[in-house]
Structure 1
């Protein structure tokens, strides 16, 4: 199910967006849910508590936390989630590109405009899902894991455990070396320890003993790799910025 965040301080505009998203869901028969926020503070507070969305629809001109501010918060932990800006002013178009927004749509938002924008965006999401995913054979059967949803993987005995952003853990019996070979093809992964591989997108802090993730999980660091891991993480962040 797609999770969509909608944020606008204008209650009428927010209500209009919610109605149009409902119409889109019914028209396209898409399994999606949404959460509406009447200001940037509410959305940022939800994000700080660990709430995550697949798509963010943001007004730009809001008191306190602007849409650009909220987008910067999102990009601090998620480099890829589609961000759509809906605004009454075109003056922030250039700034919207700095946070890699997928689209910038001027108000008023009509049914035709929203449907067209969402069609384009979901096609983009579909392409990303097809490209950036792995297939695993778990105890529950064959499963597809999106790279953007995988926080880290660990091996315990002969079993590999995939820890997802949602909190779900998928258990598989497979070679951890094969898992690492598969995941290290993606630039966002780093092997911090012989038993752990981590998605750098979700790293919060690194010290000399462990990596703390944004999900509040911690994984150990091999003492011989501390310097290398810190350098690799810094290079990853600079490349994405």
Structure 2
């Protein structure tokens, strides 16, 4: 794969839908100027055993539905989350009953197979994924240390730069996914795994604990609640 390309996986046990979703996603990526290669999977087992580093996975929630000893969509999501995978997931389903289960740390949203050609929902989700994969959204958190800033990225890499956290915080206000939660920290909400106590700390995906200042607690909670509301709205298609 070209180093400038992203890797998008499509997992569905029905060939007709694999091809249909592939055609739609290829078209959307071309429209957005988003360089990508595509990998097709016919089962959850193929996804889990693949050596490909997937940036985005369109996952059939009903894969292997009713068949014992085979991974379904929920199993695949759970395994990827336990691996601390950075793969964003769009759940694809034919039935609304699966929507209530289409949640997870890296789940961006869901789309109904019946609406692939009649709704803009898939396009909206792809655009959101592109936004998350590109630019500043790759930053997990920033820590201020004396006169330096340690910038921690989603892939685990760290870059040290000179600068003041306050100046960076003002610059990053344009991104709703970021919040200054402490005099020494800026956090990306997409990298938060859990809130500890009554907003005393954030636990990140890599289990790092980031403190939340008492003086910033109210504003941090307001922004985080709004972020969660927006994420739920996107998941539910509201």
- Report the TM-score when normalising by structure 2: 0.56
Instruction: Give 1:179 shift.
Output: 0.5
Unaligned runs of 5+ in 1: 134-143
Alignment size in residue pairs: 205
Equivalent position of 1:2 in the other structure:
6
Equivalent position of 2:62 in the other structure:
61
Residues 93 and 104 of structure 1 are in contact (CA less than 8 Å); yes or no, is this contact kept in structure 2? no
Residues 152 and 199 of structure 1 are in contact (CA less than 8 Å); yes or no, is this contact kept in structure 2? yes
Deviation by residue 1:183-239 (Cα, 9 ceiling, x = unmatched) = 23333222232111101222112336642211x151431553585477347623542
SS of the residue corresponding to residue 135 of structure 2 reads strand
Compared CA separation, residues 126 and 92, structure 1 to 2 (3 A): closer
Equivalent position of 1:138 in the other structure:
none
- Report the TM-score when normalising by structure 1: 0.56
Residues 68 and 95 of structure 1 are in contact (CA less than 8 Å); yes or no, is this contact kept in structure 2? no
1:185 aligns with 2:189: no
Residues 177 and 227 of structure 2 are in contact (CA less than 8 Å); yes or no, is this contact kept in structure 1? no
Residues of 2 paired with 1:159 and 1:230: CA distance? 24
RMSD over aligned CA atoms reads: 5.2
Q: How does 1:153-172 map to 2 (within 5 A)?
A: 153-172=142-161
Unaligned runs of 5+ in 2: 66-70, 233-238
Deviation by residue 1:136-178 (Cα, 9 ceiling, x = unmatched) = xxxxxxxx7332x221111223222322212233333222211
Residues 82 and 121 of structure 1 are in contact (CA less than 8 Å); yes or no, is this contact kept in structure 2? no
Larger RCO (CA within 8 A; separation ≥ 6): 2
Equivalent position of 1:83 in the other structure:
90
Residues of 2 paired with 1:233 and 1:126: CA distance? 19
SS of the residue corresponding to residue 178 of structure 1 reads helix
